[in-house]
Amino acid sequence: MNSESTRLRNPRYYWGVWLASTAIVGAIFLIPFVLFFLMFNIEPGLKRAILLNALPCAAVGLVLTILASAHAVRYLHNLIRQTAKAVELAEVRERERDLAQQELIRKLQDERELDRQKVQFEAQLAEYEKYAALAQLALGAAHEINNPLLGILSHLELELRDARNPEERVEIEQCIQGTKRISSTVRGLLNYTRPAPLWLSRLSLGRLVDETLAFVCHQPLFRAIKLEKRIPADLPEISADANQLSQIFMNLLLNAAEATSEGGSITISAQQKGDDAIAIRIADTGCGIPGDILPHVFEPFFTTKRGKGTGLGLSISQAYVRSHGGDICIQSVPQRGTEVTLVLPIRQQDRPLLEDEEMVV
Ligand SMILES: Nc1ncnc2c1ncn2[C@@H]1O[C@H](COP(=O)(O)OP(=O)(O)O)[C@@H](O)[C@H]1O
Ligand SMILES: [Mg+2]
């Protein structure tokens, strides 16, 4: 409520107005009499007669005026008080209406967000169903392909041993390379659709990373790239499957190296996250991943390396990390670089270690 309406609703204000108006009216009644007696030299008998006749009439008029104005003031006060109440009520209703409108808008926005999430969830579900069907198919196909492939490979190796001239050797070697590529894709497929059981042991991440780096650093792909390792010596050991972890590191290092041009760098760092987890980061200064590609990189068979990539490196790594109860995510800035973060639990609750000679699926 504003100060004007507070003032109008205060009874003291009206009684002040009433007193002032009464004083003014009284003065208006008295002044002509006083002037009349002062200005004209009137006979004392006439003066008395005028006073006796006119003054009572003036007094009665004055009293009636005062009473009428008091009544008018009270009436006016009540009227304004009611008006102010009505205005106040209208303001309250308006505020309530505004609040209701805001609530409605919020609910509509929530509903829209829920609809959006529902559509997203349904799309994801359809995607999972597609993968599940694909995985079933791939599993069957992989078994069918793998056995004859091993036969072809051993036959090609025998052929290579008996090769008579260098041209023939080159051709056979190319065939062997191609067969190995098919075989590794098929193995990748099998790993993705049916990850191998977990063989848990207590591992030093630093040592595992050293071994992987020692293996890759001689490869031509890594020759012109600076490899840096920042793993604190006091990092706790973790319970994990050494084979799966080194395969994850290998996949991520290969991706990083393939994206990084000569003179670039790849950094592997790790740090403890809370009491129960370790975060491992593999960051490169490579070409980065465009925003429209980033959401697809974990999809099986998604690759931007036409004819060279299988599109299984990240999906298999994700399957392995998840089977450890961990998580993997990618952040990337095109033309600046990519950072892959793995979060792995330090302990595998209720899962025995390899020393106990048990296998965990
Ligand atoms: N470090 C990286 N830098 C840039 N792009 C990357 C990186 N890691 C993954 N990618 C992108 O993700 C895609 C999928 O990777 P991946 O599953 O390993 O399959 P592949 O390496 O066989 O293509 C790659 O084709 C590439 O486009
Ligand atoms: Mg890859």
pLDDT band with cut points at 50, 70 and 90 for residue 123: confident
Calculate the alpha carbon distances from 107 to 32, 103, 115, 117 in Å. 75, 6, 12, 15
CA dist 360 and 334 (Å) reads 40
Give the lowest-confidence range in 42-51, 81-90, 127-136, 351-360.
351-360
Report which protein residue has its CA nearest ligand 1's atom 12. 297
Ligand nearest to the CA of 256: 1
CA dist 281 and 317 (Å) reads 14
pLDDT band with cut points at 50, 70 and 90 for residue 359: very low
Mean pLDDT of the chain: 85
Who wins on pLDDT, 98 or 54? 98
pLDDT band with cut points at 50, 70 and 90 for residue 46: confident
Between the CA of 167 and the centroid of ligand 2 the distance, in Å, is 31
Both structure tokens of 302: 């998604």
pLDDT tens figures, 127-143? 777 767 777 777 777 77
Domain ranges of the chain: 3-101, 126-191, 198-356
Q: Which helix (H) or strand (E) holds 346?
A: none
Return the ligand 1 atom nearest residue 330 CA.
8
pTM of the shown model: 0.58
Which pLDDT value is given to residue 358?
39
Which pLDDT value is given to residue 357?
40
Protein residues whose CB sits closer than 6 Å to any atom of ligand 1: 251, 255-256, 259, 284, 286-287, 289, 297, 302-305, 309-315, 338
Which pLDDT value is given to residue 8?
62
What does R_g of the chain's alpha carbons equal in angstroms? 47
Which pLDDT value is given to residue 360?
39
Ligand nearest to the CA of 296: 1
pLDDT band with cut points at 50, 70 and 90 for residue 354: low
Report which protein residue has its CA nearest ligand 1's atom 10. 255
Highest mean pLDDT among 156-165, 180-189, 209-218, 222-231 belongs to: 222-231
Which pLDDT value is given to residue 7?
63
Residue 282, strand partner residues: 268, 340
> Percentage of the chain with pLDDT > 70?
92
Ion ligand 2: residues, Cβ under 5 Å = 255, 313
pLDDT band with cut points at 50, 70 and 90 for residue 290: very high
Best CA proximity match to 313, nearest among 219, 128, 187? 187
DSSP string, 11-38: HHHHHHHHHHHHHHHHHHHHHHHHHHHH
pLDDT band with cut points at 50, 70 and 90 for residue 344: very high
CA dist 149 and 108 (Å) reads 59
Strand, coil or helix: 236: coil
Q: What is the mean pLDDT of residues 38-56?
A: 76
| Phi–psi pair at 159, nearest 5 degrees | -60, -40
Residue 339, strand partner residues: 283, 331
Ligand nearest to the CA of 315: 1
Q: Which amino acid is at 280?
A: I
| Helix/strand number for the chain, H first, E second | 7, 7
pLDDT tens figures, 54-94? 777 777 877 887 788 778 878 888 888 899 899 999 999 99
Between the CA of 297 and the centroid of ligand 1 the distance, in Å, is 6
Q: What is the mean pLDDT of residues 2-26?
A: 70
Best CA proximity match to 282, nearest among 342, 236, 194? 342
Whether the pLDDT of residue 306 is over 50: the answer is yes
Q: Regarding beta strands 337-345 and 327-333, do their DSSP bridges make them parallel or antiparallel, or are they unpaired?
A: antiparallel
Who wins on pLDDT, 53 or 155? 155
Both structure tokens of 88: 């106040």
CA dist 156 and 181 (Å) reads 14
Map tokens 């006119």 to a residue.
54
Q: DSSP assignment, residue 360?
A: B
SS3 sequence, 273-310? ECCCEEEEEEEECCCCCCCCCHHHCCCCCCCCCCCCCC
Which pLDDT value is given to residue 237?
95
Return the ligand 1 atom nearest residue 315 CA.
17
Which pLDDT value is given to residue 76?
82
Q: Which helix (H) or strand (E) holds 270?
A: strand 265-273
Which pLDDT value is given to residue 77?
82
Return the ligand 1 atom nearest residue 293 CA.
27
Best CA proximity match to 277, nearest among 326, 233, 243, 240? 326
Report which protein residue has its CA nearest ligand 1's atom 8. 255
Pocket test for ligand 1, best of 265, 303, 310, 315 (most atoms within 8 A of CB): 303
Q: What is the mean pLDDT of residues 249-260?
A: 95
Ligand nearest to the CA of 290: 1
CB 292 within 8 A of CB 227: no
CA dist 282 and 230 (Å) reads 10
| Residues 30, 34, 40, 41, CA torsion sign | positive
Which pLDDT value is given to residue 227?
95
Q: Which class in CATH covers the domain with range 198-356?
A: alpha beta
Best CA proximity match to 208, nearest among 93, 96, 344, 5? 344
pLDDT tens figures, 210-221? 989 988 888 889
Highest mean pLDDT among 134-143, 180-189, 214-223, 290-299 belongs to: 290-299
Which pLDDT value is given to residue 245?
92
Whether the pLDDT of residue 2 is over 60: the answer is no
